[in-house]
Chain A
Amino acid sequence: MDLFHTIIAILESTIRVSVPLIFAALAGLFTERAGVFDIGLEGKMLGAAFAAGAVAAVTGNVMMGLLAAVLISVLLSLVHGYASITQRGSQIVSGVAINFIVAGSTVILGEAWFRQGGRTPALSGDARFQTVTLPFADAVRDVPFLGPIYSELLSGHFILTYVAFALVPFSWWILYRTRFGLRLRAVGENPSAVDTAGISVIWLRYRAVICCGILCGFAGAYLSLAMSAGFVKGMTAGKGYIALAALIFAKWRPVNIMLACLLFGFLDAFAIRLQGNPLPLIGQVPVQLMQALPYILTVILLAGFIGKAIPPKAGGVPYVKER
C-alpha cells in the first residue's frame, strides 16, 4: 500500500513537470514540421515566464499574465521568423541569439523594475492559477485502487495541465486532418511543390512560427503562474532543450511527443525522489546520471540505435523562390 502511494506521488509529480515540456515540444512540432528549426524554445519560454510573472504581479490578474506571456513569446517567434524566413539567415544562429537576448534581458529588466534579485514579486490569489478539483474527487477517495488514482493523480492539477493534454489530440487533428495542417507539413518537406500550387511558403511558415510562439507562451506562463508563484531568473533551466530532445525522440509526432515528455518528466520526478536512496537491485545511482539520461537517450536515438529519427526534409533550409 505504501509503495502504491509512493508510485502515485511520483506519477503525480511526473505530470506536473511534464506539462511545460509538452507545451514547448508541441510548439517546436509546429515550426519544425513547417521546415523552420527552432532551438530558441528555451528563450521563448523564459521570456514568456518573465512577462507572465511581471504582468500578473502588476495587474493582479492571472489572465493578463497569460496574455502577456503569449504576446512576448509570439513577438520573439516573429524575430526568429524574420531572421530565418524573410532574411534567410541561419535558423540555428537565430535561435541561439534569442536564447541569449532573453536570458540577459529578463534579469536586467526584472532587477530594474522589481529589485528583487531577478525575481518578480510572489503571486497569490487571483494573480496565480489555482488547482482544479475534478467532480466527485473527494467522494471516491476511499474507493480502493481507482479512488486514489482519480482523486490524487488525475484531479487537483492546474487548468493549464488539462489544456496541455487536450492540446495533444488537438495538434494531431490540426496537423493531420485540416487543410492548414496538410500544407504546413508539405512546406516542411517540399516547399517548392507548395509554391507551385500557388500557396505562399513565406506566409505559411510565418503562421507556423506564430503557432509556436503561442504554445511557448503557455509553457512559460505555466512555469511562473502555476508551477511556482512568480518568475525566478533562469527558471526554465534547460527545459526548452529537453523539450527539443523530446520532439526528436518522438520523431516529430504529437502522441509520441506526449509520451516522450512524460518519460523525461518521469526521469526528473524519479531523480528527485531518489536523491540519496539506493535503488533495489541496481544500488546507488548518481543523481547526475538520472539528470543526464534524457540527453543520453536522445543521443542514442539520434544515432539510430532505437529506430530512426528522420527530420522534416526541408528543415533548416531557407526557401528561395527564384531558383
Chain B
Amino acid sequence: MSNPYAKLPAWAEYILIPLLNLVVAFLVAGLVVLLVGENPLDAAYYMITGAFGRGEYIGFTLYYATTFIFTGLSVAVAFHAGLFNIGSEGQAYIGGIGVALACLWLDKTMPWFVVFPLAIIGSAAFGAMWAFLPGWLQAKRGSHVVITTIMFNFIASSLMVYLLTKVLKPLGQMAPQTRTFEAGGQLPKLDWLMSIFGLNLGNSPFNVSFLLALLAAFGVWVLIWRTKLGYEMRTMGHSPSAARYAGIGEARITIIVMMISGGLAGMMALNPIMGEQYRMQLDFVQGAGFVGIAVALMGRSHPAGIIPAAILFGMLYQGGAEIAFEMPAISRDMIVIIQGLVILFAGALENMFRPAIGRAFASIGRRSVAAAQTRGA
C-alpha cells in the first residue's frame, strides 16, 4: 500500500511524531485529571516519585515493564507481518499452564535453574498453541485473525476458570489457584543487578525473567531484521501481493508468525507466576496483553522502542498505584484511560500531525534552497 503522505526525515518519523502523539495523549489524560478536580501536575509528580523514588519502586516498575516487554514484542512481531494479534491476553493466560505444569512437576526436587528452562519451553509452547489455531484459520480458512483472537481470549478465560476451579486446584482449598510452589518454582530476584547501582530492591518482585525479556527483545530484532524469515514477514506486511509474487508462502508465514507471537505472549506468564505469586491465580494476566498493543504502537514495533515504551507503562502501573494512594479520586483505572489514549493517538491517529509537519519541513526546505540560491548568486 502506498503512503499518501510526504516522506519525512528519519528523526522526525521515528522520534518527533511518536513523541508528539504521546504528549497529546498525556495532555488529554491531564484533562481527565482536571475534570475529577485534581491537579494534573501534582499527579505527574506523584507518579514519577512513585515509580522511581526508591529502589523498591524502581524494582516494581521494572517488574511490570518485564511483563509488557513480552506482550509488546508479541503484538509487534505480528504487526510486522501485517497481522493484528489482539489475542496476546489469552495466549499469555494459556501460557500460564505451561509454567504451572513445569513448576508443579519439579519444584520439590529440582533447583530453579532446571525448572526455569522447562517453564520457558512450556509457556512458549502453550502460548504458541493458542495462537496456532487463529493463525491456521486465517491462513487456510480465511477467517480474520482479529475476530478469532478476540473470540479466543474469551474462550481462554472460560477454559482457565474451569481448569483452576476443577482441575488444578488442590483438594480442600477454596481459592481458584494452584498450590504455592516450593523453592524450585521460585525465580531469584535481581538484587545484585540493583546493588550495582546502589539501590535496594526491598520487597519488589523484580526477577530473572527481566533478563529473559531483554534476550527476547534482542532475539526479535535478529529475527525481523537479520533472517530470511524476518525478511519474508516484512515483505508480507508491506505488500501481500508483492510477497505472493516473490513466491513467499503466505499461509506458512501467517501460521509461523502467529505462533512466535503467541509464544512471546505465553512467556509473559513466567514473570507473575514464577517471579511474584509462586502460584497460578485466576486472571493473573490482568490486561497485560492489551497493554502490549499500546506498547507495540508506541515503540513503533521495534525492540529498541518497545523496551522504553514498556518501562513507561511499568512506570504508569507502579506510579499509578502511588497516585491512587495520594489522590483517592484517581484509581488505577486512570492507567486504562492513558493506555486507551496512547493507542488512539499513537495508533489510530498517528497521521494527525503528519500533514502539518510535512508542510513545515517542506517550507523550511524551500527556504533553505532559496537561501542557498541567493548566496550562490
B323 to chain A, nearest CB (A): 11
Q: Is B142's beta carbon under 8 Å from chain A?
A: yes
Q: Tell me, rounded to whole Å, the shortest Cβ–Cβ distance linking A303 to chain B.
A: 4
User: With the chains together, A238 CA to B86 CA distance in Å?
Assistant: 15
How many residues of chain A get a CB closer than 8 Å to chain B's CBs? Answer: 50
Residues of A within 8 A of B (CB): 39, 79, 82-84, 87-94, 96-105, 107-109, 111-112, 238, 241, 244-245, 248, 286, 288-289, 291-292, 295-296, 298-299, 302-304, 309, 311, 320, 322-323
Partner among B133, B150, B344 whose Cβ is within 8 Å of the Cβ of A241: B150
Contact present for B337 and A101 (CB under 8 Å): yes
Q: Interface size for chain B: under 10, 10 to 19, 20 to 34, or 35 or more residues?
A: 35 or more
Q: Which residues of B contact A (CB under 8 A)?
A: 2, 4, 32, 35-37, 84, 86, 133, 137, 141-144, 146-148, 150-152, 154-155, 158-159, 161-162, 166, 290, 293, 297, 329-331, 333-341, 343-344, 347-352
Residues from chain A with a CB closer than 8 A to the CB of B150 are 39, 241, 244
Report Cα–Cα, A94/B352, bound state, in Å: 13
Q: Are the CB atoms of B141 and A288 closer together than 8 Å?
A: no
Task: State how many angstroms separate the Cβ of A240 from the closest Cβ of chain B.
Answer: 10
Q: In the complex, what distance in Å separates the CA atom of A190 from the CA atom of B150?
A: 27
Q: Which of A83, A112, A311, A323 contacts B348 (CB 8 A)?
A: A83
- Give A274 Cβ to nearest chain B Cβ, in Å: 14
A303 touches B341 (CB 8 A): no
Q: Check B336 against A111 for contact (C-beta < 8 Å).
A: no
Partner of A304, one of B141, B151, B290, B350: B141
Q: Which of A94, A108, A288, A302 contacts B143 (CB 8 A)?
A: A302
B339 touches A311 (CB 8 A): no
What's the Cα separation between A238 and B155 when bound, in Å? 12
Residue of A nearest to B342 (CB): A97
Chain B residues, Cβ within 8 Å of A288: 158-159, 161-162
Considering the chains assembled together, what is the distance between the CA atoms of A295 and B150 in angstroms?
9
**Chain A residues within an 8 Å CB radius of B161:** 288
Tell me the complex Cα distance, A99–B154, Å.
16
Asked if residues B158 and A292 are in contact (CB atoms below 8 Å), the reply is: yes
Given contacts A100-B336, A107-B331, contact A94 B158 (CB under 8 A): no
Residues of A within 8 A of B146 (CB): 39, 92
Find A104's partner among B152, B154, B337, B351 (CB 8 Å cutoff): B337
CB neighbours of B86 from chain A (8 A): 92, 96
Lowest 10 CB-CB distances: which A-B pairs, in order?
A100-B340, A104-B336, A104-B337, A302-B143, A101-B340, A94-B348, A97-B344, A89-B348, A292-B158, A93-B347
Interchain Cβ contacts under 8 Å between A and B, 7 examples = A97-B343, A100-B337, A105-B337, A108-B337, A109-B35, A292-B159, A304-B142
